[in-house]
Amino acid sequence: MEPNGILPLWKEPGMTSHDCVFRLRKILRTKKVGHTGTLDPQVDGVLPICLGRSTKVAEYITDQGKTYEAEVLIGASTETEDAEGAVVEQDLSDKMITRKQLEEVLQSLTGDIEQIPPMYSAVKVNGRKLYEYARKGESVERPVRTVHIDSIELLDEADTWEGQNIRFRIRIRCGKGTYIRTLAVQIGEALGYPAHMSQLTRTQSGSFTKEQCVTLAEVEEIAQNGDIGSILQPLAYGLSAFPFEEITPDLLFGIKNGQVLEAHPVLKTEPFVVFTYHGKPAALYKRHPEKPGKMKPEKMFGFPPTDEV
């Protein structure tokens, strides 16, 4: 029986997100495997993987907030904005940054901020990914994007940082589409120096935390013991950001057939509502974009027996 559920994977450095999907397809002998937001090869951290029927909720996990722990290096900028790229600007002057200065800069970059995606990124311009332009030495105008930073917390306890190169660690809680390496550059710009992100770990993705995660080696061992279900979260876990409503008898026929219905009251404030049947997600509904007071199905999950994930 093919696995169904969400696997909280700890991605190790040196692998792409696609490498992880490829390995899991072989380990679990299933084709229905999807990740929930790319992590760069050198980055480690939480990467929820959707299996079987749960691939239908991958996009909603991707859209949820993330938490990262990063090291920022002040004194040099790179072409990739992280430690992988060649240095493009260096400032070897003796520097001194106070905790007050740094905390003021971090506060100024909290909330809705504008970012220009790195040239070495997968953002598409005119149908091509930016890194494709970068690798050919071509320049192209990059789109300015607004992203949301919930908070930036300084993890180091020092009162001052001194030297030619200054390093410090921060914890960032942010929304979809935030580039932490670009944020590192922006911190440097606010302090008046070139900078880049020297290390990054994702410690949380949506509802999934580091403590829940397993490595690929651990997945392989668990799979060999025939106990893969013990580490999977149900499909419902990937929808936990939305309100859940059990289907009442009067709505059963309409929802089962994906009909346009009178809007549920929670849709006045929420983007989606998850309708459950015997406690299991059956359909995801949203406000109808053209019919005020109505709702329409966004995604149907079916009406599984109550003992299925």
Dihedral angle sign, alpha carbons of residues 42, 47, 50, 51: positive
In which band, very low, low, confident or very high, does the pLDDT at 309 lie, cut at 50, 70 and 90? very low
Rounded to whole angstroms, how far apart are CA atoms 79 and 66?
25
Which domains does the chain possess?
A: 5-64+206-237 (3.30.2350.10), 66-203 (3.30.2350.10), 242-300 (2.30.130.10)
Residues in the chain: 309
Rounded to whole angstroms, how far apart are CA atoms 26 and 91?
48
> Is residue 40 annotated as part of the catalytic site, yes or no?
yes
Tokens 């506060």 locate to 107
Could you give the 3-state DSSP secondary structure of residue 279?
coil
Rounded to whole angstroms, how far apart are CA atoms 218 and 201?
19
Average pLDDT over residues 63-69: 94
From the list 7, 46, 60, 63, the residue with the least C-alpha distance to 30 is: 7
Which DSSP string do the residues of 206-267 spell out, in sequence order? TTEEGGG-B-HHHHHHHHHTT-GGGGPBPGGGGGTTS-EEEPPHHHHHHHHTT--EEPPGGG
Helix (H) or strand (E) holding 115: strand 111-115
Angle between helices 216-224 and 17-28 (to 10 degrees): 10
Distances from the Cα of 180 to the Cα of 43, 67, 100, 170, 202, angstroms: 11, 10, 22, 10, 10
Query: Does the model's pTM come out above 0.75?
Result: yes
Q: What pLDDT, in 10s, does the model give residues 239-287?
A: 999 999 999 999 999 999 999 999 999 999 999 999 999 999 999 999 9
Q: Would you state the pLDDT for residue 305?
A: 54
Query: Worst-scoring range by mean pLDDT, 58-67, 118-127, 169-178, 201-210?
Result: 118-127
Q: What pLDDT, in 10s, does the model give residues 110-156?
A: 999 999 877 676 677 777 777 777 787 777 777 889 999 999 999 99
Give the alpha-carbon dihedral of 11, 38, 185, 73, to 10 degrees: 10
Q: To the nearest whole percent, how much of the chain has pLDDT over 70?
A: 96
Average pLDDT over residues 173-190: 95
The residue from 40, 94, 227, 307 that is catalytic is 40
Rounded to whole angstroms, how far apart are CA atoms 214 and 203?
13
Mean pLDDT of the chain: 92
